Amino acid sequence: MPDDAAPSSEWRERAHAFAARYVLAEAERIDREDRLPDAVLRALASERFFGLGLPAEWDGAGGDCRSTVAVLEELAYGSAAVAVTLAVHLSVCARPILEHGNDLQRERFLRPLARGERIGAFALTEPGAGSDSAGLTTRYRREGDGFVLRGAKMFISNAVSAGEVLVFATRDPALGHRGISGFVLPSGTAGVSVAQRLDKLGLRGSETTELVLDDARLPTDSLLGEEGSGLRIALGALAGGRVGIAACALGVAQAAFDTLRDSVRLDDADWKRHRLAQAFADLASARALVADAAERQDTGRPFSREASVAKLVASRAAVSIASSGVDVAGEAGTRAGSAAERLYRDARVFPIVEGTTEIQELILARSLLPPSDEPKPF
């Protein structure tokens, strides 16, 4: 079993073998049924992938961001839904609890997440507040010895199966980002319900839901960090999450490239060979940028801009390569259930999730221009 000191190559080999055994043969069924088999989830826990990047002190499996990126890419090569489920659990739930929780919260929430006994979710987006993270309307108030939350969250991954949901709410919308706090919401909390599970174009099998908080009551120790620090916690989690999602997009791009290459011959029409060459260049660029973002995160350097670049380019590469795969396959590539068709649908979601393409461009532009005093909600 790889440990804290194991190189990312060992994790990649382990994930490659796991995908070959548990994921590749299930990918079409996962997509068709829009459900991850319990056997796959149990196997992920058994292999300790749910504890990747988390220290052994809290029952984690060790490894760093480069290890996590390698595992997510290999899993996404087999099934994007499997990889995204793990990426959300690690990047935007378990990791923030590790970084911002106290020891009692790590004991209560992080240990079972790291062991894979519970799956983590992240609830920031709302029906009327997507890219503008500071515009939340889900409210919280202090009552007795705890908090009461009321509102709705939309497009929440893993919420059906989640053991813990990291949820963000505002004390008063007029306070802007200063009013937002983060809370760890355990499964079974009274007043919490899944209003609907969304039927998606791609990433089918990865749960996406509307989560309703109807006077959900949480004890005081569910507050993550300090009151008013929620937006800072959320944006930090999203930066790390973008590296993970970029790795998932990279895995889909690699699978689409291999499918495309299998469809092209040296004596084929020029346009097919040109598509293959461009796909290779797009894939190589995305891989280098994802590796750079992960390496910067591991070495403690600023990586928010690099995470946005990696997510932007890897998402575009996945869509472009998968689209070429459908074009080259022709009519066969448009048939429901074909690998080319499924990969294209999966790829098409990546420019939207974890911050749209337009938001990544705004983040990049902001990092390249002189600073201003305007609030930064992304």
Active site positions, annotated: 354
Pairing state of beta strands 162-170 and 119-123?
parallel
CA-based nearest residue to 377, from 157, 129, 123: 129
CB 113 within 8 A of CB 358: no
Paired tokens of 290: 């994802």
* Residue 355: C-alpha distances to residues 158, 243, 246, 292, 350 (Å): 17, 12, 11, 19, 9
The Cα 116–Cα 60 span in angstroms is 10
Three-class SS state of 241: helix
The Cα 161–Cα 219 span in angstroms is 22
The Cα 344–Cα 28 span in angstroms is 13
How many other C-beta atoms are found inside a 10 Å radius of the C-beta of residue 154?
19
